[in-house]
Amino acid sequence: MARRPPPPRVEDSESFEFRLDVPPIEIARAPAPSKAPDKPHYHDHRARLRQRFDDAGPGALADYELLELLLFRTIPRRDTKPLAKALVAKFGDLAGVLGAPVQRIAEVEGAGPAVAQDLKLAQALLERASKAGLRQRTVISSWAQLVNYCRLVMANEPREQFRVLFLDVKNQLIADEVLNEGTVDHAPVYPREIARRAIELSASSVILVHNHPSN
């Protein structure tokens, strides 16, 4: 009968080392949260300017600041202060900016077609509202009243115009109409058109007005 091999011999020892070779495990780190992009500096400026307008009214704002407010809608993603200041510097004041021809507005850096269109729209709204109010209450019975009225409605016209003011028996303004518009130095006049229109409006008197943009 075959003999069994003796069991392995264990040396007497106070301790022994147990090693297990395992490759290191890399723990993936979660990516750091992305930082929100900084807001453009002009965002806070727009909020402050709107707040000033709401709290103190338009009288508390300079001409260029009122223009900024208008341009916020036209140029939503750019600082509008430099453009507003450039427009006022070129044309003198708000009336000059709104009354400037589209071609001259385009000469200002940053003033594209949309800016020019919105400025002319603002001018048209202002003029129409002013004329509507004036027609309801305007009495032109003196030279001073006539000059003041004409300055309001014609001061920034870039071309020569021939206008006729139709008045009733109390010298109240019935209508203000541009019967013809010409070049910078010429506007033809047709008396028959004036007489026909006066009869249509039942006007008692008319005042003929002609401007000179070059002077």
Predicted pLDDT of residue 90: 94
26 phi/psi in degrees, rounded to 5? -90, 125
Give the Å distances, CA to CA, from 53 to 32, 56, 65.
42, 6, 9
CA distance linking residue 213 with residue 159, whole number of Å: 6
Task: Find out if CATH 3.40.140.10 is the number for domain 139-215.
Answer: yes
Question: Average per-residue pLDDT in the chain?
Answer: 81
79-134 pLDDT, tens digit per residue, is: 899 999 999 999 999 888 998 899 999 999 999 999 999 999 998 888 787 766 65
Residues in the chain: 215
Predicted pLDDT of residue 11: 56
For residues 46-64, give the mean pLDDT.
90
The SS3 call for residue 204 is coil
134-180 pLDDT, tens digit per residue, is: 556 688 989 998 988 888 888 777 778 888 999 999 999 988 888 87
> What residues does each domain of the chain span?
44-137, 139-215
- Tokens 């300055």 correspond to 151
User: Could you give the angle at the alpha carbon of 73 between the alpha carbons of 71 and 75, nearest 5°?
Assistant: 65
